[in-house]
Amino acid sequence: MKKKPVLVLYILLNIIISAATTLTVLWLWERANPPPVLSDVLSMESSQAESFESPNEAIPNNQQDQGATFRNENIQVDIRAVVGVGNLEIEYVELINRGPDTAYLEGWQLIGERGQQFIFPAQIVNSSGVIKVSSRTGTNTVIELFWQSETPIWQAGETVRLLDADGETITTYSIP
């Protein structure tokens, strides 16, 4: 009987020491390797972006503005398809980044012939990355954005335009 309380004490002591060791290692790891923050990713992106005043000069990291629009001549975003035209539950526009660089789509727009307009929130699409813009309601994710419409957006025969943040047409797609 005397051995039972001693065994329980050793087990509890082992659990406490193991938990303390694990928490210490995790804390040290987090301090040595902090997770990336979206603003850091944008900072890395913009260090390659061209300055508005001097096209051949990179923007220094200490002069970057969080709300700045980043320009990149290598952006090649295309409308790959418009799927499920007329059916709100499955209707979406699929975009692909065919360029070698990451595309930052904040402020870009999808526009239809009848005045329908979708403005992109802060969204990053990596090279060869694909993103869907669904017509229906939903919660935005990394790979799918939602128009929040109660009715279908697109019609057969309509042309969809993709505009960049400056309002310049990047690509068009004619819905069959």
pLDDT tens-place values along the chain, 176 residues long: 567 788 888 899 999 999 999 999 888 887 877 665 555 545 554 544 443 443 334 434 444 444 444 455 678 999 999 999 999 999 999 999 999 989 999 999 999 999 999 999 999 999 999 999 999 999 999 999 999 999 999 999 999 999 999 999 999 999 99
Integer Cα distance of 69 and 27 in angstroms: 36
Number of domains present in the structure of the chain: 1
The confidence score (pLDDT) of residue 90 equals 95
Using CA atoms, how far residue 19 sits from 5, 6, 27, 31, 33, in Å, is: 21, 20, 12, 18, 21
- The label of the residue with tokens 């904040």 reads 106
Residue 39 lies in a domain: no
Residue 102 lies in a domain: yes
Residue 135 lies in a domain: yes
As given in the structure block, the two tokens for residue 172 are 């068009």
* Helix, strand, or coil (residue 52): coil
Nearest CA-CA partner of 172 in 98, 47, 77, 103: 77
As given in the structure block, the two tokens for residue 81 are 């398809």
Residue 152 lies in a domain: yes
Integer Cα distance of 28 and 40 in angstroms: 21
As given in the structure block, the two tokens for residue 7 are 């065994």
Instruction: Print the domain residue range for 161.
Output: 77-174
Integer Cα distance of 7 and 160 in angstroms: 72
CATH code where residue 147 lies: 2.60.40.1260
Specify the pTM. 0.59
Residue 82 lies in a domain: yes
Residue 118 lies in a domain: yes
Residue 32 lies in a domain: no
Residue 70 lies in a domain: no
